[in-house]
Chains A and B, each alone.
Chain A
């Protein structure tokens, strides 16, 4: 089994109106990892995602699933789309039915599965995103965050190997973001490869294993999230660095080398834990 599950090689894409959205973009997605895709507005994140799922097809270069270039035939696409689940940014433009349960059944029904299996998958997917109690509600009575979770359930019900989410945290309040992070954590623990486009550096730093930074349709940097986000050119492109990393390094300048379990803290809670751990050790000495 290869380490890379999906990759782009020299992919360029121009929209019909002439906008060049991807320019010789090459990147790789590693199996089982949490990958954050960062980049300014218009950097090409959404366009790149549409290539992963075979909705857009570039004239040059190619997209590969493991070792093989994508098969754009009808059957090939059905197979790819059952493996790569794509959740768009705006929930209102991807929910078809006014009934939650019916909408979640849309994907698995498209796969041509028997009704009994579809029913099972729908219930499991709704449970996984914590929407089982709202299954009989009409979609238009749900909150924005609940609609987002229904969208994710709709994709999970297709049992993809890779889950691709376009700015899932946009428009969610802190509590809803926390709930969604828990859902994603469960999916990751179950072995799913997850790719998220985000503007939120702090979220990416705390959540992801890998980071991909796009700049005007090109790959700027790719690799371990901690290394990538601390590169000077990435910081210039994104305009800042993760606040937790900044605090950690300024603490280090004052002589406080804070660590959690021997690692640099990545999130707010880890940072707080690391600081109190540091003080505890100071007091012991």
Chain B
């Protein structure tokens, strides 16, 4: 939950999510507009520096959050590079083939993805998910999708607590002492969770009724005081970023 922690404690927490969302989208546009890998890397560098220095996120934490995505980026870059060749003229009938001619294009794709990643992290590390959801609500995204996001996000924590409690209780009775026991306990955990999910959805339904609900989940959007200033800053820096990406060779 490193992302969570940053989203709630960073320096830009109180800045309007509209502003942060706009910069993030401009970042993605810039990443796609970047004509060369060099420009894409520059966009990535600007965005990550802005997140680390501007929002005051510790660089180590930034890297730890980015690590899984970077790993996938590397893996997919390599898999694009190497392809299996089924042509008959090779001795084994099957050979590993390095797409050397494709190298520049693959490099370009990777750099762009990296820039996109930093643009996403810019938003994810500075803005709590509840703010992002209410931003999406304002953008008139489908209600059902947003309700699902709200409930899944909340359920994530409730269930992770339930998992934690069940596992602790099972371990206390030596449920994970051996491999066979572990498998049995794991089965028990899954069955137990399924029941809990069902009961919880019933309870949530009752609670929604009790609070006068009869359809979509409606919440009050948070109110951010310094919106105009933050938005003009965001517009200027976002547009500059895109212009930079478009005009730099």
A residues contacting B by CB (< 8 A) are: 50, 53, 55, 74, 77-78, 81-82, 85-86, 88, 90, 92-99, 101-103, 105-107, 109-111, 115, 118-119, 122, 137-141, 154-155, 158
Contacts and interface: CB of A to CB of B under 8 A. Distances in A.
A109 B210 contact: no
Contacts of B158: 92-93, 140
Given A81-B211, A139-B154, A94 B217 contact: no
B163 to A, nearest CB: 14
A109 B150 CA distance: 16
B134 A102 contact: yes
Contact of A103 (B157, B214, B219): B219
A213 B231 CA distance: 60
B200 A138 contact: no
B142 to A, nearest CB: 18
A99 B223 CA distance: 13
Contacts of B218: 106, 109-110
Nearest to B213: A110
What 3 A-B pairs have minimum CB-CB distances, sorted nearest first?
Answer: A105-B220, A93-B203, A94-B207
28 contacts: A53-B210, A55-B209, A78-B212, A78-B214, A81-B209, A81-B212, A82-B212, A86-B210, A90-B203, A94-B203, A94-B207, A96-B150, A96-B154, A96-B204, A98-B129, A99-B219, A101-B220, A103-B219, A105-B220, A107-B211, A107-B212, A110-B213, A138-B4, A138-B8, A139-B157, A140-B158, A141-B8, A154-B211
A109 B130 contact: no
- Chain B interface size, as a band, is 20 to 34
Contacts, number: 104
B128 interface: yes
A106 B222 CA distance: 13
A118 B218 CA distance: 12
Contact of B207 (A74, A88, A111): A88
A141 B209 CA distance: 26
Contacts of A105: 219-220
A110 B134 CA distance: 17
B153 interface: yes
B214 A110 contact: yes
Given A119-B220, A138-B8, 5 more contacts: A86-B210, A96-B208, A102-B134, A106-B218, A122-B220
A106 B157 contact: no
Contacts of B153: 98
A157 B8 CA distance: 25
Contact of A88 (B150, B151, B206): B206
B128 A99 contact: yes
